[in-house]
Amino acid sequence: MPGERYFAARDRLAEISTHIAGLARDTGLEVPEHDPVPDVGRPILLAAIGEVNAGKSSLLNAIAGVEVCPAAALPLTKEIRLYRYGGSAMERAHDGGVLECRRPVPFLKNFELLDTPGTNATGRPEPEQIDPWLNAAEFVMVVFTAENPWTAATWDAVSRLSDETLERTVLVVQRTDLKQPQDIPIILGHMRDLCLKRTGRALPIFPVSAKYCLEAKSSPSGAPEAWSASRFAVFEDYISSRVCESFARRQILHDSWHHASRTLRRLEERFDLTRRGMDDDAWFLTGIEREMDALRDEHMLAAPRSLSAMLDRYRTAVGDIVHHLRSRLGWARTVVRLFLGDTSPAALEAMFATRMHEVAQSQGDGDAARLLDACAAHWQTVRPRVAERMGFDPGPCLVAGVKRDESIGRFTARLEKAVPHALANLRVRGVLDPLLRRRNHTLKLVVAIALLLATLAGVLGTLGKGGLPYYVLAASGATLVGSVLIAWTTLATISIGYRERLLDSAPAYASALEADYGEAIRTLFHEYSQGLIEVRRQLADRKAALQPRLEHWNNLFIALKAVELEM
Ligand SMILES: Nc1nc2c(ncn2[C@@H]2O[C@H](COP(=O)(O)OP(=O)(O)OP(=O)(O)O)[C@@H](O)[C@H]2O)c(=O)[nH]1
Ligand SMILES: [Mg+2]
């Protein structure tokens, strides 16, 4: 086929351009109106004119290497026929008596063939019918038969061709196989003279045999002898150099190449912009994360205030506990417990623990709600900023919204968990235990003495020992009064001491809670910052989507450079 090098480069370029256009489409890059895609794939139109039976159709078939146009010994081509590529054979009449014939012949993807009725055929098309086609053709072949290349009708047709058309016209002497080789130069000489006379210029003249050419092209071996006898090698080289590799065609290739290159450059700029936008977005998200950290630190710094509020409630609880202790240490209740056993330290410890638990719970719930309100208020500012900058709504703040109760629960649970540990350090029970044990021991001894004395008084009274029983009974009563005094004084010292001890331990209690309280704040803010995870994921997805496009771009860039060398 003529122009194979040209078509190979063109097809490669067309393929790359298609990929580039696809990439541009995927990327949302619009083709600017002032820079339309050049039609690099437009086939080359070859036209053949000449007298009836000159071998026009056969010549077109020989160039195609396959029988596209019907050829026969009898006058055959009755109308202008335009052979074009089509998936299946189909014919359609055009205005002006032109019959468009679609054929599934690969050759027709690169060349369109214009076959015409003989210049001397009856019912031949009028010049105004055929001339526009000849003006549009990139290569016009005036076909003569070697047996009689002098027919006036064809030379008249040559004389009528415009200067522009003559620029693209060659004379073809067909069926040379029917002449002796030595006759050919003589025929060509005469034709040259006639051509000069008729057109004023020396058009190229090619003596060929379409019959041998088609034979060679159809033969699996290539039939070198037939090929050489067809003289098609020189003719096709000429078509290649004049038409396929013409300045106009090269220009289309270059235009197409530059268009592809410009699109690649615009894509590169777009990718650069997208990449920079993503970096900016990442930086923007880091900024928001910093805001979240700052908010967290602000609340961490305010933590001592919360803890001191908690300590106020601790002190109130201490007052209540000590009040309870005092009521338990009354003389009568103490004496009863002397016999039943004293569980006061354990009971007070349990009571204190319950109170502190309640304190932690209400304080935790309140603090967590306050922190979540701060998070929600901050998210109100984050949401529109993300939507405006990144083009999508990150949604409501979950941690302060649908998951609010869970978050509060976690925050409070953390604080509650810290309470037993902090109380253990205070030794609420361990401090009270020995004091009460000592007191109970003393009281037990004194009460026992009083009871013994009372018993003794009873015995002495039974024995009739005069006034002695009364003295002993008085001593017993005095001992009991003593026990009341002891109970009263120790009640005061123990409860005051216990109170001081618990109040002195308040800072220790607070510092034992501090670490857990801080950790609870950190956890809550960590959960809050998770709201940006979806935003980060979106950004990562965009980055991941860009990567294959960048690789595709790179491959297309290299391929386009390679085509430039081929061109
Ligand atoms: N020997 C020989 N015969 C040829 C050659 N080319 C064509 N012929 C014969 O010439 C006759 C006419 O060929 P066509 O190709 O139909 O000629 P055409 O100019 O298209 O004729 P119309 O369409 O009728 O105007 C046919 O019988 C072909 O077989 C050739 O190179 N050598
Ligand atoms: Mg024909």
pLDDT at 4: 83
Indicate if 227 and 333 belong to the same structural domain: no
Burial profile 220-249: b = 16 or more Cβ within 10 angstroms, e = fewer? eeebeebbebbbbeebbeebbebbbbbeeb
Strands (E), 13-166: 44-50, 80-85, 90-93, 98-103, 111-115, 139-145
- What is the residue-level pLDDT of the chain in tens, covering all 567 positions? 778 888 888 889 999 999 999 999 988 888 777 777 777 878 999 999 999 999 999 999 999 999 999 888 776 777 899 999 999 999 998 877 789 999 999 999 999 999 999 888 777 888 888 899 999 999 999 999 999 898 888 999 999 999 999 999 999 999 999 999 999 999 999 999 999 999 999 999 999 999 999 999 999 998 999 999 999 999 999 998 887 778 888 888 899 999 999 999 999 999 999 999 999 999 999 999 999 999 999 999 998 888 888 889 999 999 999 999 999 888 888 888 888 888 888 888 899 899 999 999 999 999 999 999 999 999 999 999 999 998 889 999 988 889 999 999 999 999 999 998 888 877 777 888 888 889 999 999 999 999 999 999 999 999 888 888 999 999 999 999 999 999 999 999 999 998 998 899 888 888 888 999 999 999 999 999 998 998 999 899 999 989 999 999 999 999 999 988 877
Residue 28 inside a domain? The answer is no
Burial profile 258-281: b = 16 or more Cβ within 10 angstroms, e = fewer? ebbeebbebbeebbeebeeebeeb
83: β partners: 101, 113
Q: Verify whether ligand 1 is closer than 6 Å to residue 125 (CB atom).
A: no
Residue 33 inside a domain? The answer is no
* Residue to probe by mutation, ligand 1, list 49, 52, 53, most atoms within 8 Å of CB: 53
Q: Verify whether ligand 1 is closer than 6 Å to residue 119 (CB atom).
A: no
Pairing, β 111-115 against β 90-93:
unpaired
pLDDT at 75: 67
Q: What are phi and psi of 44, to 5 degrees?
A: -90, 130
Contact 466, 375 (CB under 8 A): no
Indicate if 79 and 217 belong to the same structural domain: yes
pTM to 2 decimal places? 0.65
Give, using CA atoms, the residue closest to atom 11 of ligand 1.
Answer: 73
Domain boundary among 245, 260, 284: 245
pLDDT at 242: 83
Residue 549 inside a domain? The answer is no
CB atoms within 10 A of CB 309: 14
Q: What are phi and psi of 48, to 5 degrees?
A: -125, 130
Q: What are phi and psi of 4, to 5 degrees?
A: -60, -40
Q: Verify whether ligand 1 is closer than 6 Å to residue 178 (CB atom).
A: yes
Residue 30 inside a domain? The answer is no
Give, using CA atoms, the residue closest to atom 3 of ligand 1.
Answer: 175
Instruction: Tell me whether residue 355 is exposed, middle or buried, using C-beta atoms within 10 angstroms of its C-beta: 0 to 12, 13 to 18, 19 or more.
Output: middle
What is the residue range of 203's domain?
43-245
Residue 387 inside a domain? The answer is yes
Residue 78 inside a domain? The answer is yes
Supply angle C-alpha 273, 274, 280, rounded to 5.
90
CB atoms within 10 A of CB 315: 13
| Ligand 1 atom closest to residue 230's alpha carbon, by position in its atom list | 31
CB atoms within 10 A of CB 103: 21
Which residues neighbour 53 within 8 Å (Cβ) at sequence distance 6 or greater? 73, 74, 75, 118, 145
Indicate if 217 and 328 belong to the same structural domain: no
- Reading the block at residue 182, the tokens are 């030595």
Q: Verify whether ligand 1 is closer than 6 Å to residue 149 (CB atom).
A: no
Indicate if 321 and 200 belong to the same structural domain: no
pLDDT at 38: 77
Q: Which of helix, strand or coil describes residue 255?
A: helix
Indicate if 235 and 354 belong to the same structural domain: no
pLDDT at 406: 94
* Cα 2 to averaged position of ligand 2 atoms, centre (Å): 21
Indicate if 529 and 429 belong to the same structural domain: yes
Q: Verify whether ligand 1 is closer than 6 Å to residue 52 (CB atom).
A: yes
DSSP track, 182-194:
THHHHHHHHHHHH
Secondary element (H or E) of residue 154:
helix 152-160
* Cα 164 to averaged position of ligand 2 atoms, centre (Å): 25
| Ligand 1 atom closest to residue 117's alpha carbon, by position in its atom list | 25
Indicate if 213 and 315 belong to the same structural domain: no
Provide the residue count of the chain. Answer: 567
* Cα 374 to averaged position of ligand 1 atoms, centre (Å): 95
Residue 484 inside a domain? The answer is no
Indicate if 515 and 419 belong to the same structural domain: yes
Indicate if 151 and 241 belong to the same structural domain: yes
Q: Verify whether ligand 1 is closer than 6 Å to residue 70 (CB atom).
A: no
Q: Verify whether ligand 1 is closer than 6 Å to residue 483 (CB atom).
A: no
How far CA 550 is from CA of 27, 268, 269, in Å, comes to 11, 8, 12
Residue 164 inside a domain? The answer is yes
Indicate if 135 and 205 belong to the same structural domain: yes
- Reading the block at residue 219, the tokens are 């033969």
Q: What are phi and psi of 112, to 5 degrees?
A: -110, 140
| Ligand 1 atom closest to residue 76's alpha carbon, by position in its atom list | 24
* Residue to probe by mutation, ligand 1, list 49, 52, 57, 58, most atoms within 8 Å of CB: 58
Indicate if 310 and 225 belong to the same structural domain: no
Alpha-carbon gap, residue 94 to 89, rounded angstroms: 16
How many domains, in total, are found in the chain? 2
Q: Verify whether ligand 1 is closer than 6 Å to residue 374 (CB atom).
A: no
Indicate if 226 and 308 belong to the same structural domain: no
* Cα 85 to averaged position of ligand 2 atoms, centre (Å): 19
- Here the CATH number for the domain that contains residue 119 is 3.40.50.300
| Ligand 1 atom closest to residue 213's alpha carbon, by position in its atom list | 31
Alpha-carbon gap, residue 212 to 234, rounded angstroms: 14
Q: Verify whether ligand 1 is closer than 6 Å to residue 73 (CB atom).
A: yes
Closest by CA to 331, choosing from 439, 438, 435, 433, is 439
